[in-house]
Amino acid sequence: MRNAIRSAQKLVTVTYGFDFAEFVRISLLNRAKDENRNDFEAMERIFDAASARKQAVIVTARTDDGKGVAAVMIVWGGANAYFWQSARDPSCGIGGVNALRLWTSIELAGRMGLTFDFDSYGSVKSAKFLAGFGLPPLARVEVSRQIASYPGKLFKLANGLLLRRARAAADAVRR
């Protein structure tokens, strides 16, 4: 991982800023607007509110000509800094740029005396990438609401009918 970070440092410069429009531009290079699931209006409101409280920054990797090729929004509170949102130009072709922006974010949190939380990674590939930084993963419980599939709904419906019938039969026996 160190070699990837050092290689990227030779090709890009890391800056700290607040240019949300540039973040959106980079994000749209990765996924076009019709495929992009980000709610940029809501994200901007959150980022602006955190920035006004001096609790947010955008860490951007820039090429020699100043073009942003990868960015991450970091937000923080009293104890933790969070890797909130990230964007990367897939055509930049700079190996190690993801590791560099993550490492730079970890260093930023360290300078502020905060724990760094990169909980926003959600895939096995990302978990393997993070394992390259040397710390063991911490499992977190995630609760989400999902619509059951049609066979699942039928199972729940049938199970519910059986339970109601069993309760009705038990009530009839008690009477």
What pLDDT score was predicted for residue 150?
57
Domain ranges, ordered by start, for the chain: 2-131, 145-175
Cβ–Cβ under 8 Å, residues 82 and 75:
yes
Kindly report the pTM of this predicted structure.
0.72
Q: What architecture does CATH give domain 2-131? A: 3-Layer(aba) Sandwich (3.40)
Higher-scoring residue by pLDDT: 130, 103: 103
Give the helix/strand (H/E) hosting 28: helix 20-30
Report how far apart, in Å, the C-alpha atoms of 87 and of each of 27, 34, 172 are.
5, 16, 63
Task: Using the predicted structure, report yes or no on whether residue 154 has a pLDDT greater than 60.
Answer: no
Confidence of residue 56 (pLDDT cuts 50, 70, 90): very high
